[in-house]
Amino acid sequence: MKLTHTRDVINKLVPKYIKGKTLDIGGGTSKYRSIITPYVSEYLVSDLYPVQKIDFIEDARKLSHKDKTFDSILSFQVLEHIDDTKAVVKEMYRVLKYDGIAMVTVPFLCAQHGHPSDFHRFTVDGLRWYFEQEGFKVIEVGKQGSSFAVISELFRFAFLNPYKNHGRIKTAILTRIIKGLTKLDKCEILQNENIYGNVYIVAQK
């Protein structure tokens, strides 16, 4: 299965690893709730900001939960927005039960974006290092998004900002170019294993 989007990673890995009482750190509106809930006994969402369907308003660097509370921890595209990666991973380890699982996705190559700040990018080796430093056993780590998926996304951010009105003709032309770049993903000889959009990791306490 080719992992192009974060949703692909979740669809592949959640059924395999995630169970029991589960905390989604930085889950916001919990847009992946429908994928996750069939596999867990309890799905709880924490975030720094009060949004709909949130269970805990809390700082990921200092979670409000007792030690060994959760069977599974999730965090999707969140760590880049927090200034202290080490503190967050340490908290994940603390609130997980023994043998509990943390599943995390983060960006490697993408445009700067807020919500409200943007501090970090992660390679496969870099993300593995953070989890191993805190005592986790890395079960699975990998790349998501191929060369031209990255290029097309950077092109979209550069020339087709969704928050601006570019006009019908310009939008149509740029959209066609983006779709063309994305189609090049199917050509294996044009891929570069060192160019990828995101990193995912599954780690056990």
Helices (H), 37-167: 85-95, 124-133, 147-159
Give the position of tokens 């599974």.
72
CATH 3.40.50.150 range(s) for the chain read: 6-146+193-204
* Contact between 79 and 120 (Cβ < 8 Å): yes
Based on DSSP, count helices (H) and strands (E) in the chain, helices before strands: 6, 7
Q: Please, is 141 exposed, middle or buried when counting C-beta atoms within 10 Å of its C-beta (0-12, 13-18, 19+)? A: middle
C-alpha closest to that of 54 among 29, 85, 21, 17: 29
Dump pLDDT digits (tens) for 18-28: 999 999 999 98
Q: Please, is 19 exposed, middle or buried when counting C-beta atoms within 10 Å of its C-beta (0-12, 13-18, 19+)? A: middle
The CATH code for residues 6-146+193-204 is 3.40.50.150
Tell me what pLDDT residue 187 has.
Answer: 66
Dump pLDDT digits (tens) for 16-63: 999 999 999 999 888 899 999 999 999 999 999 888 789 999 999 999
Instruction: Locate the DSSP E strands across the chain.
Output: 21-25, 42-47, 56-57, 70-76, 96-107, 137-144, 198-204
Average pLDDT per run of 10 along the chain, which is 205 residues long? 80 96 93 95 94 90 97 96 96 98 93 82 96 97 82 76 70 74 67 85 98
Per DSSP, the three-state class of 104 is: strand
Rg (CA), the chain: 18
Tell me what pLDDT residue 162 has.
Answer: 65
The model's pTM? 0.86
